[in-house]
Structure 1
């Protein structure tokens, strides 16, 4: 009955995402693959890793682990879904150089190791190791996501802030 007098919240829901790998955070346009660089996979950014370990940047659920172990999609409690894709064309390695520590459906905690990857092995095979961080449900977010570029430490530095549409 009195609901019309309640103030509607104009506060937007923001989710801060910490670096899932240590390295150099760069704009998505720097990824040497048009599907990522052109934003066709979604909004986001990338990190040129200096260590071969992908960790969970938040508590959530692994909603899909790619069979070749080079990528995982995590879902945050807010509904934000992020794809973490290690390298370009690394699916061709068929899991060689990758060790997955999670399976589809697993609950994960911030800082938990998701995937270990062998940077020298991937590079020797001729593939870039740049790791894309993509919001796969970008249509639910405001036009731009805020990114922080430069040197980042896994689990310590915020790399992007996703803001949901009101």
Structure 2
């Protein structure tokens, strides 16, 4: 009877798909022209060379952090994976110019929900690169990471990674 009253507790999924958070061309992290990302110092993942200045949620989860300069956002997926999306390289020096956050810390998000929009042409002009790393920052606490094969990806559509919890 109590189960009927309170319902079953929803169990966190063990393996989740991480969808493309941007529209563009999928690249390997090794192709990112910055050793912090290409040498996986902050975590493993993939990168996207964007063609549109819009970042959407790659998973169902919760926004952990929106950087004050709005050039990066961190999300915790339902299985515990922590995902960092870092828009461009050396974009922190833009001090938020051209970036607009549509979410804040603690917001629950669904796949495809807009997180940040930005002026892609301005990033091309002011930053070192527009390439955007998508990292699993707590990979040591997670299980297997599978990178999907794709070239052209659409934000919120194609799966680019699959991550399992331990």
TM range (shorter): 0.7 to 0.9
CA contact 1:44–1:145 (8 Å) conserved in 2: no
Change (3 A) 1:59 1:39: same
- Could you tell me which residue of structure 1 aligns to residue 157 of structure 2? 156
Which ranges of structure 2 fall in alignment gaps of 5 or more residues? 1-12
Count matched residues: 154
Equivalent runs, 1:14-29 vs 2, <5 Å:
14-29=15-30
Root-mean-square deviation (CA, aligned residues, Å) is: 1.5
SS of equivalent to 1:15: strand
- Could you tell me which residue of structure 2 aligns to residue 140 of structure 1? 141
Which ranges of structure 1 fall in alignment gaps of 5 or more residues? 1-11
Matched, 1:68 2:58: no
Change (3 A) 1:116 1:66: same
TM-score by length of 1: 0.87
TM-score by length of 2: 0.87
Change (3 A) 1:157 1:147: same
Q: Deviations over 1:96-126 (max 9, x none)?
A: 0111111111111221110001111111114
- Could you tell me which residue of structure 1 aligns to residue 6 of structure 2? none
Equivalent runs, 1:66-145 vs 2, <5 Å:
66-142=67-143, 144-145=145-146
CA contact 1:18–1:159 (8 Å) conserved in 2: yes
SS of equivalent to 2:143: coil
Question: Once superposed, which parts of structure 1, at least 4 consecutive aligned residues long, lie more than 6 Å away?
Answer: none
